[in-house]
Structure 1
Amino acid sequence: MRHSFSLLAAIAAGLFAVPAMATDYPLKLDNCGFALDIAAAPQRVVAIKSTAAELLLSLGLEDQLVGLAFLDGPLPEALGGTNIPVLSEKLPSQEVVLEVEPDFVYGGWESNFAADGAGERPTLQQLGVASYVAPAACRSVKPEKLSFDHLFGEIAEMGAIFDVEGRADALIAEQKAALAGVAADTRGLTAVWYSSGTKAPYVGAGSNAPAMIMEALGLTNVFAGVDEGWTAASWEAVVDANPDVIVLVDAAWNSAEAKKKLLAENPITSKLDAVVNQRYLIIPFPASEAGIRNVPATVDMAGQLAGLSF
């Protein structure tokens, strides 16, 4: 998958500056129903999950990052970050997080902030550590159906928190321009977003990144009626829907090639038109969750979709 990280790389390298008004601290925010009161731009940050790490790096905040954890795959080379310590391949414990003395922890999932994980948010707050959950991953407060504007809002909020509003504005402008170049397919195609699972598929449903991306591509999501980001389905339901296209999430632990093999060998799915004719769209796992990779992934998948014949 090709990515356009020209601006991101320039920002990360300190080559791009956009004048903007400075953040007026203390900054008070509501994040997933949790009140934040940020006295100054964070200086020692732990990022948990790829979406959190990649957004901070794209804003040129590598020097503030003191630890990464629970990454979903390699970071894009253009963003740098290779010298930042990886605290844990999985969800880090509170002890591991606190060892690097952070003043801010940014989690890609709300579940990252558990007593047996990075620590509960009120506990971290008492210790002087602010915490932030990617809004699309809120669970304490049910998020609205995800849109690209919501993603741009998260970028803008990070820009305010770290007093780099100019960089955030530039990144948003670049992503909006790229998204504007995507023309929705007009063939009336249906699709299933196959995220994971073998005995039964875990699929993209109607309210998070899969739904957002498929809508931008002009695809009708077979499971759009389920008001969740993802949902457990059945192979029988997929066969009954007989989708025109199958989106395959390419993860290190469940690759797109492994998914193709399973679909071709499973007697239930092997006769599907999409399987017989190899009508697949591929997206890397780190780009399949709400984050800065969604726009470049949508651009790339639009190209893949245009190349499919029916």
Structure 2
Amino acid sequence: MRAFNHLVGLAVLALAAGPALAQTDYPLTINNCGVDVTFAAAPERVVTIKSTATEMLLALGLGEKIVGVGFQDGPVPEPWAAAAADLSVLSEKLPSQEVVLEVEPDLVYGGWESNFAADGAGERASLAALGVASYVSPPACRSITPAKLSFEGLFADIAEMGTIFDVSSAADALIAEQKATLESIAPDTRGLTALWYSSGTKTPYVGAGSNAPAMMMAALGLTNIMGDVDDGWISASWEAIVDANPDVIILVDAAWNPVAQKKKLLAENPITSQLDAVVHERYLVVPFAASEAGVRNVGASVDMAAQLAALSFDR
């Protein structure tokens, strides 16, 4: 977390020093997950669903525009905690359309495309008919297949959000700081393989080859044992994991499936207990909110690089 805090601190200083220039011409139309979204002006009242959406706006200095949050994956990191302290929580889980509309948003920004359902925040067409724009984090698109995620693609998403809100200078500053920090990572050269274990007990849900897990593992110099599967996350089998016998296991720390629970399962399951990574406790830990595509990926990669460098492979 120290590297992440340093990264965000530098970005905050850059944002404070940067010029406030109006750069966006409205009306602005953006194709988002196959849906054309038109903004007559910069959004002023935003509902964010999922931590990735909330933290994107906080990182761009747009916290005052957030009128409600829902389905947050964990606490906001300390550098943004003050800005997030007064955010109104609409629902601990996915808020309904009725709850969302009560705060009169002009934009609903979702971290998952599935957030926009009739039994959720509302279908995108339904919201549009009511004059409410919607935006899905591009790597989370499902109605169209997103490109394999890269840090350059992630930086392009930050730039797009800067354009939407007419804060391109802030977005440019954030991108510059993230690029500089990303370049500080020295990929591991030991030829190590890794498993990204997100959740699941009987059937493990793991990081595959095309989204944030693959992107971060590549930055670390790790070979993803599920990297040949063209998907973000997949349901795998413990037998396939045992056959691959990864050198390192990345554990996603989530409130509903914490690291301690994962370690206990791996150590007690006869199928996995003899894995080299389990026997020697070669684990890296990443918070759930930093495991999906967003502004925390760079900081999380730096933190995991330090964890990886500290691991011993002496027998």
- Please tell me the TM-score bracket, short chain as reference: over 0.9
Q: CA 1:7–1:127 in 2, change beyond 3 Å: closer, same or farther?
A: farther
Instruction: Measure how far apart 1:7 and its partner are.
Output: 3.4
Aligned match of 1:109: 112
Counterpart residue number, 2:189: 186
Q: Distance in 2 between matches of 1:10 and 1:254?
A: 35
The answer for the alignment partner of 1:200 in structure 2 is: 203
Matched-pair contact (CA < 8 Å) for 1:249–1:256 = yes
Aligned to 1:74: 75
Aligned residue in 2 for 1:32: 33
Identity %: 69
Matched, 1:169 2:172: yes
The 2-side partners of 1:9 and 1:256 are apart by 30
Distance 1:203 1:20 in 2: 42
Instruction: Find 2:160's aligned residue among 135, 157, 160.
Output: 157
Q: How many residues align?
A: 308
Query: Who is 1:64 aligned against?
Result: 65
SS of 2:99's partner is helix
Quote how far apart the aligned CAs of 1:19 are: 4.7
Does the 8 A contact of 1:190 with 1:220 survive in 2?
yes
Deviation at 1:93, TM superposition (A): 0.4
Q: Secondary structure at the match of 1:74?
A: coil
Q: Let me know the Cα RMSD of the aligned residues.
A: 1.2
> In the aligned structure 1, how far is the partner of 2:116 from the partner of 2:273?
41
Cα deviations across residues 123-179 of structure 1 (Å, max 9, x unaligned)? Answer: 111111010000000011100100011111111011011111100000000000000
1:3-34 Cα shifts (integer Å, max 9, x gaps): 231034447xx734335452111111100000
- TM-score relative to the length of structure 2: 0.95
- Summarize the Cα distance change of 1:306–1:187 in structure 2 as closer, same or farther, 3 Å threshold: same
CA contact (8 A) 1:18 1:170 kept: no
Question: What is the TM-score when the length of structure 1 is the normalising length?
Answer: 0.97
Superposition pairs of residues 136-151 of structure 1, within 5 angstroms: 136-151=139-154
Q: Which range is displaced more, 14-23 or 288-297?
A: 14-23
Distance in 2 between the 1:124 and 1:196 partners? 32
CA contact (8 A) 2:11 2:173 kept: no
Answering whether residue 260 of structure 2 is matched by residue 257 of structure 1, we say yes
| SS of structure 2 residue aligned to 1:15 | helix
Question: Is the CA contact (8 Å cut-off) linking 1:8 and 1:78 kept in structure 2?
Answer: no
Runs (4+) off by over 2 Å: 7-11, 14-21
- Structure 1 gaps, min length 5: none
Find the counterpart in structure 2 of residue 273 from structure 1: 276
Tell me by how many angstroms 1:81 deviates.
1.2
The code of the aligned residue for 1:18 comes to P
What amino acid sits opposite 1:303 in the alignment? A
Partner SS state of residue 146, structure 1: coil
- The whole-number CA distance in structure 2 between the counterparts of 1:7 and 1:69 is 28
| Equivalent residue letter for 1:120 | E
- Whether the aligned pair in 1 keeps the contact of 2:11 and 2:177 (CA below 8 Å) is no
- In structure 2, distance between residues paired with 1:257 and 1:16: 42
